[in-house]
Amino acid sequence: MEIKIVGEQAKTDVEKIEERNNASLPQEVLEGGNEGEIDHIAVKQVLDLDRDNNDYDSEIGTLVEWAKSQTDSDDYQDLKWAIRDLRMRLGTPTHGDSIKHLARFAYLDLEDKRIKAEKRNMI
> What per-residue confidence (pLDDT) applies to 94?
78
> What per-residue confidence (pLDDT) applies to 114?
95
> What per-residue confidence (pLDDT) applies to 73?
82
Spans of all domains in the chain:
13-122
Per-residue pLDDT of the chain (123 residues), as tens digits, is: 666 555 555 666 666 666 766 665 555 444 445 667 888 888 898 888 888 888 888 999 999 999 999 998 878 899 999 999 999 999 888 788 889 999 999 999 999 999 999 999 998
Long-range contacts of 85-93 (CB under 8 A, 24+ apart): 87/46
The answer, as to whether pTM is greater than 0.95, is no
> What per-residue confidence (pLDDT) applies to 28?
47
> What per-residue confidence (pLDDT) applies to 92?
81
Q: Is 34 helix (H, G, I), strand (E, B) or coil?
A: coil
CA dihedral 64, 69, 70, 76 (to 10 degrees): 40
